[in-house]
Amino acid sequence: MQDAGVDEVAIDTFSHYYRLLEHGETGMVPESSIDPVDMESLADVDVSDEQAAEAIAATAVIKLNGGLGTSMGMDRAKSLLCVRRGLSFLDVIARQVLRLRAEHDVRLPLLFMNSFRTSEDTMDALARYGDLASEGLPLEFLQNQEPKLLEKTLEPVSWEPDPTLEWCPPGHGDLYTALRGRGLLEKLIDEGFRYVFCSNSDNLGAVPDERVAGWFAQSGAPFAIEAVRRTPSDRKGGHFARRKTDGRIVLRETAQTLPEDQEALADLDRHRYCSTNNLWFDLEAMKHALDVRGGILGLPLIRNVKNVDPSDPSSPKVIQIETAMGAAIEVFEDARLIEVGRDRFVPVKTTNDLLVLRSDVYDLGSDLVLEQQADEVPFVDLDKSFYAHVGDFEKRFPQGAPSLREASSLRIEGDFTFGSEVKVVGDVELTGEGAERVENGAVLQGGEPADA
């Protein structure tokens, strides 16, 4: 890591987690150690216009932008994907921030945490926005990298076919390590900022909203996360809970759940809230927490086992040491959760999500804020054999997404290419053996085309 130029803060942090691995730490959170958690709702919070204005003026925005979208067949920054009206995620993010600066007459600096794989593409795409960078602050900083470790020996893996695959990012929990290692915590404080709003670049619902900023400021909390009610689509994902031993809020990820606890993980009545990965923190509180811990925040370990070459299941098994940025909630005694509307959580992890985002379920208003047009977001499950990769997905929706505003679900097994102005109503399931076409103007209802 030293030879590769990784900074000392990141090396110390990696060493901390390596020692945990050596001692058999798994990072698991047993169901028996936690209780369900409840929280207040943003809809019930009273925030004055003055409080909101003061808070957003003291806020800096960070977007996590290290993902390549490899699961969707991409080899560049996922945020370059076109989402609406010929605009990419990056275009929408940039224009949202520029609009908010003008509307509130604030600096609202925007920083992207890129990986060594996404930096060049991202900065090239943002070059058209000449006034996006805030004076005195960088538009990007790089996520750290660490070696993948052989599962059996914990030695750094060597992979001659592609040496770049010997390295991996340390998960988005590296945010705090990278900010400290690059001096950006101190820089933001020196520039007069008090709060940071951080979110994923593939979540267009994550607008730096002045009302949420006002709530966070008046709460006095050092750290907070926006949460949403879990739906069937979130059944396999992480959730919030409260640790029995000390009452702290914890974020349990799927990779931290024991096999015998998988049923409890999927219980939407017991564990009702999941993370949007939209989080807020007080810069002074974060700096103090890192200072007293010698630069190591001490987030729970996530032991992620993969193949060194993700595309080659016969390649050696490796451990990637990861942490989740939301797990920092358990570091702070007075951390808070706030329930927000689903409109603040529109992530795109698969082409299923991309289809919904491009459909009429959402409208991208003139203010570049997504507005949900349907009462409920439909469940979409596209056949992975034909739709998982973006290139294949685009070929099968050449005229754009069908109307999903009146859909409850759309499940496709088989190879279907959609014509223009197709409408999906209710619960629809399509199954087919060979390549089939859904004709222009078709109304799909209960799996069969009705009269258009």
Distance CA 17, CA 255 (A): 16
Q: 394: left (phi > 0), else alpha (psi -120 to 50), else beta? A: alpha
Catalytic pick among 187, 287, 306, 349: 349
The residue type of 62 is I
> How many Å is the Cα radius of gyration of the chain?
22
Give me the torsion for CA of 278, 283, 284, 290, rounded to 10°.
Answer: 80
- Residue 188 CA to residue 28 CA, distance in Å, equals 35
- Please tell me the distance from the alpha carbon of residue 65 to that of residue 112, in angstroms, as a whole number: 6
Those residues with Cβ within 8 angstroms of residue 174's Cβ, 6 or more apart along the chain or in another chain: 10, 13, 143, 144, 323, 325
Q: Which pairing describes strands 149-150 and 317-322: parallel, antiparallel, or unpaired?
A: antiparallel
The pairing of beta strand 336-339 with beta strand 317-322 = unpaired
Residues 6+ apart with CB under 8 A from 290: 176, 180, 185, 296, 297
DSSP state of 222: S
Closest CA to 265 of 234, 290, 244: 234
Distance between CA 196 and CA 179 in Å, rounded?
11
Tell the burial category of 98 from Cβ atoms under 10 Å away from its Cβ (0-12, 13-18, 19+): middle
Tell which residue, 424, 422, 428, has the closest CA to residue 441: 422
Concerning whether 349 is annotated as a catalytic residue, the answer is: yes
Residues 69 and 381: their CA atoms lie apart, in Å, by 18
DSSP 107-173: ---EEEEE-TTTHHHHHHHHTT-TT-SPTTS-SEEEPP-EE-EETTT-PBP--TT-GGGGEE---TT
Residue 92: phi and psi, rounded to 5, are -65, -45
Q: What are phi and psi of 337, to 5 degrees?
A: -120, 150
Q: Are 126 and 90 in contact (CB under 8 A)?
A: yes
The b/e string for 251-277 (b: 16+ C-beta within 10 A; e otherwise) is bbbebbbeeebeebbbbeeebbbbbbb
Q: Which residues are catalytic?
A: 349
